[in-house]
Amino acid sequence: MLFRTLLLMFMFSCLVQAQVTHRYLVRLNPKLSHADIQHKIIGSTFAYPSADKHASFFSDFLYLVVSDTTVLVEMLASGEIMYWERPLHRTLEFEPSDIHLSKQWHLEKIQAGLAWDIAQGDSTYVLGIVDSGVDYTHEDLKANLAYNHDDPLNGVDDDGDGYVDNYYGWDFGSDDSNPMVDEGGAHGHVIAGVASASTANELGSASPGYRCRYLPVKVTNTQGQIVHTNEAIFYAAQMGAQVINCSFGSLQYRQSEADVIEYVTNVMDVLVVASAGNRGADVDFYPAALDLVIGVGATDENDCKTDISNYGSSVDVMAPGSAIYGPYSSNQYAYSNGTSISSAIVSSAAILLRSHFPDETVFQIRSRILNSADDVDAYNFPYAQKMGAGRLNLFRAVLHSPPISEESMLIKVRPNPNIGVFNLDLYVQELGNYQVSVFDVYGKLYYREDFGADTNFIEKLLTLEYLNQGCYTVQVSNASVKSSILFVVLE
């Protein structure tokens, strides 16, 4: 009898173990729908819900619940999904120190004061801060928060954006409308303070963005884990942020993250800035290492790379990141260190630039930042040529007038999304013969045309009404250069 009982218990244990399920992120074949694959899996939900014009892109991302990844392998082989990914754990890149009152040496280093003589920002321009939350009641932060007045705290989704009462922002860690920083999780608050402290208000500290506002988007749960960063980036873009700061990351590349950032950059014209990491190593740190992201390393008062800052291909530009003074929680102020802080400074500078140059694209603002940086290789002999474009100089960025020839080629699609009929604006450095091609996400060619460029600016009207709803890439190339941009076709 005892043997039979033990055998039954063992069989039950094996059965339970066999039914353990896990959730995976997949990108669905754009030609299929959610309903087409539901019969193959235990459960599924849309990863990034969207009911607006961006739904044709984001509805392809699903969370699938399965007990055996063989199902996902088979779906990938059959072409039903484009890829699948396991959950990813990331780290925040900030190392706090004691609370002190001090001058903000970094503002003088990047010549913010001189920049403010020309540009002081605009409160309609918003910096999205995807992090661990913000103490938005802080004396130096409450005036600069981009409150969503269209959705007051009344238990109703007044603006119909799918988020109830997102008056202050959103908390993806708890899935609620309160992005208040958790106890002991001051990282996001410090980032917001350095990037968006109210300037010239006779209180506390200043920030490069001056009058520009910030949107807190919390991505930490009650255990302090970073979650749902893709959703958070999309949310910030959807809510109107023109720059998004991501002071977090890991050594792991994620295709879904690259896809989402490519979309918000190319289609929604949003600049993403991220910290290059605090390992003191030449490593690729994501999302900072993605091509469309400005990856930021840290320097000290002497323009030397800090010991903890990463360097190499993850870094596009350096910025102050040692003993940076700014708001802390509960109306306090503190020194902070790390590439997270450096990223916040660059993000703050970027939103000031976006407000002062409203007609410039994300790529032109990026060009301003990188091509106006101060060369600091002389102070960093071991890391020469491994610190990106140099150290941020906001004043020079404001003054900088990038000629068309500074970029080999710039492409813009208007409108984007569209119905297959759109204008293609081209800024080219070299005159001569070019080719324009249109592909879907699988690389299938739908259109190709050769043309000649006898001026640096060309405007072409493409009428491709036969394209089905979905995401496409338009590529322009000649013998020496190639550039492409994502666009979306709606029905």
3-state SS, residue 252 = coil
Pairing assessment for the beta strands 91-92 and 324-327 based on DSSP bridges: unpaired
pLDDT tens digits, one per residue of 243-300: 999 999 999 999 999 999 999 998 999 999 999 999 999 999 999 999 999 999 999 9
Which of 54-58, 176-180, 231-235, 474-478 comes out lowest in average pLDDT? Answer: 54-58
Amino acid at 355: S
CATH topology for the 16-85 domain: Alpha-Beta Plaits (3.30.70)
pLDDT digits (tens, 9 = 90+) for 355-400: 999 989 898 999 999 999 999 999 999 999 999 999 999 999 999 9
Q: Which of 3-17, 98-112, 442-456 has the lowest mean pLDDT?
A: 3-17
Sign of the alpha-carbon torsion through 309, 311, 314, 315:
positive
Catalytic residue among 207, 336, 340, 348: 340
Sole residue written with tokens 């002071």: 247
Residue 252 makes CB contacts below 8 A (sequence gap 6+) with: 88, 286
Q: Is 340 a catalytic residue?
A: yes
- Residue 89: pLDDT above 80? no
Same fold, 16-85 and 407-489: no
Question: What's the CA angle centered on 28, arms 26 and 34, to 5 degrees?
Answer: 105
* Range 407-489 classified under CATH 3.90.260.10: no
Active site includes 336?
no
How many CA atoms lie less than 13 Å away from 19 in the CB half-sphere? 7
Catalytic residue among 54, 106, 138, 187: 187
Residue 96 has pLDDT above 90, yes or no: no
Superfamily name with CATH number, domain 91-402: Peptidase S8/S53 domain (3.40.50.200)
Place of tokens 């009058």: 211
Q: What is the pTM of this model?
A: 0.84
DSSP 363: H
Q: What is the pLDDT of residues 427-449, one digit of tens each?
A: 887 889 999 999 998 889 999 99
Domain boundaries in the chain?
16-85, 91-402, 407-489
Catalytic residue among 44, 56, 60, 131: 131
Please tell me the predicted confidence (pLDDT) of residue 101: 34
